[in-house]
Amino acid sequence: MSSTLVLGATGFTGRWLLLALLGRGVPVAAAVRGGSARDAGLRRWLRDHGADDRALVTVAADITRPGLGLTPADEELLGDVRDVFNTAALYRFGLTAEEARPVNADGARNVVHWSATRPRLRRLVHLSGYRVSQEARLDGPRLYAELGAYEASKTEGDAAVRLTAPQLGVPLTVVNPSSVIGHSATGEAGQYIGLAGIVEQLWTGRLPALPGSRRTFVPVVTVDYLAEFLASVPELDQDPVHRHWVLDPATPCLPDLVALLADHLGVRAPRLTLPVGLIRRLPRTLTGADPETLGFLSEERYDTGSADRLARAAGLRHPPVEQALRHWASRLVADEFGRAA
């Protein structure tokens, strides 16, 4: 029997979370899609990163299906699960609503309903996003038209989880991380969209101007810090519902962040900034900007008070952000922004 289930275990955040949990000696069940080859690849990655995977079992789960599509044998294996981590998501820009909703919205609901059937459940931890919870103001087609399918589906899923969990008596923590960058020491990430796309444009000389203003704030958090934070949540959160915004407030504003990386990579930083509203009106062929990414460019700041308190209780501190950014940028270039893999 496993005490913890990680959904989305082969994804970017999920595998680092597995590494953190196994490092704490927690017996974990990892939800894996793709059969034995995917299972072997995940175990190989974990062992390469120093994990002892003997406390790991894998199950085949599909969050788009009621009951997670589990076999009777896997249901029995997960009968005593206390903590459920939902890190599963379809993260890609340019999705249709029909592609995004089954995983990011309906899947989130299915996880809550399945978690409610666990007799020993201690906590469901749902991974959301730092802008997602700021945007819950529109419904249905208007939401998808304004935000794009990825962010709209995550917003819908976030709202559904926060509504459904209390109704079903499921102890819930929603974690809203900012842009997640690579490991603080090695830069390893494995995810090459979002802010990484700006770094690629910078490296290839295709970033003549920055969208936003001098005060645009795109906060980051390293994947190893986020993984340790997530692993600490079930032990430390006691109230029925918690929400945490997890980001490093020391992240430089976007123009300063890009200037830092340009200096590190030995390329020229753009000096011009263009308002987001103007970029939205210009042809994409001219700006090179994906319209769905523009919603993440804001001057807003975020209340990290509850996350900071949990981090102190867990003995966690953000690694130096500027050094982490440099490590990440170097690794992105070495990985050819994902093409090398």
Model confidence pLDDT, tens digit, residues 180-191 = 999 999 999 888
- Give me the pLDDT at residue 131, please: 84
- Give me the pLDDT at residue 275, please: 77
- Give me the pLDDT at residue 37, please: 67
Query: 146 falls in which pLDDT band (50, 70, 90)?
Result: confident
- Give me the pLDDT at residue 93, please: 83
- Closest by CA to 279, choosing from 260, 294, 266, is 294
- Give me the pLDDT at residue 124, please: 98
pLDDT at 282 over 60: no
Angle CA 78–84–88, to nearest 5: 110
What is the residue-averaged pLDDT of the chain? 90
The set of residues, in sequence order, having a beta carbon less than 8 Å from that of 335 and lying 6+ positions away, is 189, 192, 341
Q: How many angstroms separate the CA atoms of 30 and 9, rounded?
A: 5
pLDDT at 15 over 90: yes
Q: Letter for the amino acid at 25? A: G
Q: How many angstroms separate the CA atoms of 30 and 41, rounded?
A: 13
pLDDT at 133 over 60: no
Q: Worst-scoring range by mean pLDDT, 11-15, 51-55, 287-291?
A: 287-291
Q: How many angstroms separate the CA atoms of 36 and 164, rounded?
A: 34
- Number of H helices and E strands in the chain, helices first, is 14, 11
Average pLDDT for residues 120-147, to the nearest whole number?
Answer: 79
